[in-house]
Amino acid sequence: MTKEQVHARIVELAVIPAVRAANADDALFAAEAVSRGGLPIVELTMTVPKATELIAQLIKKHPKMLVGAGTVLDIETAKACLAAGAKFISSPGLDLDIVEFTVQSGVIAIPGALTPSEIIAATKAGADFVKIFPCSQLGGVDYLHALKRPFPNVAFVAAGGVNQQTAGKYLEAGATAVGIGEDLIPPRAVTIREAEWIEELARRYVHTVKYLRQPE
């Protein structure tokens, strides 16, 4: 999958599930459940034990799944993720070295940012998307909407506290995509291996995106 195809797929799906888990088995279970629910894309956070090995495993087992790396905090980790096959690199904050390395490697860069100055720096460095994080805790939908006015051409990913009730509002306010964590992958659902719970939540997010894109 080319960088352009990855970019288009993220825009199409508009939901990026963030997989955080206590171990690789839990993470694999969660990733497969959201995929069956209609979201064949995961941001596997580096807080998962042996995360880079799991990225490679997921890609091999599910070649049609779009697998990226999240919570990437340094160049060394970014390099390991790309070596494992990650199709995008996401961070909670702005590290220009990571952005520049990812861009030079021909992979989608999704750095975190919060202020206008950080957004400008991220876009100048070549970021493909800019993740506004933590979005809901610091201004929410109104803040995202305000950012779109001076930055109409920036592809924003709203993340941090986004849920079923607000996801559509963020997309309507101008977000290109939303990043969803526990509201899509409840830790309890993973613990008790209730795949249908996660699949149903995924289907609801898919429905939200389809509903918003219906012609009036």
Annotated catalytic residue 43: yes
Amino acid in the structure at residue 127: A
Annotated catalytic residue 196: no
Answer positive or negative: Cα dihedral of 153, 155, 161, 162: positive
Residue by residue, DSSP assigns 86-108 as -SEEE-SS--HHHHHHHHHTT-E
Rounded Cα distance, 40 and 64, in Å: 7
The residue assigned the tokens 């699949």 is 199
Rounded Cα distance, 108 and 99, in Å: 9
Strand order in the sheet with 112-113: 108-110, 88-90, 66-70, 41-45, 15-19, 177-180, 156-159, 130-132, 112-113
Q: Which of 3, 76, 79, 131 is catalytic?
A: 131
* DSSP category for residue 21: -
Rounded Cα distance, 130 and 158, in Å: 9
Q: Which residues of 51-78 are buried (b: 16+ CB within 10 A; e: fewer)?
A: bbebbebbbeebeebbbbbbbbeeeebb
Q: Which of 3, 4, 12, 43 is catalytic?
A: 43
Residues noted as catalytic: 43, 131
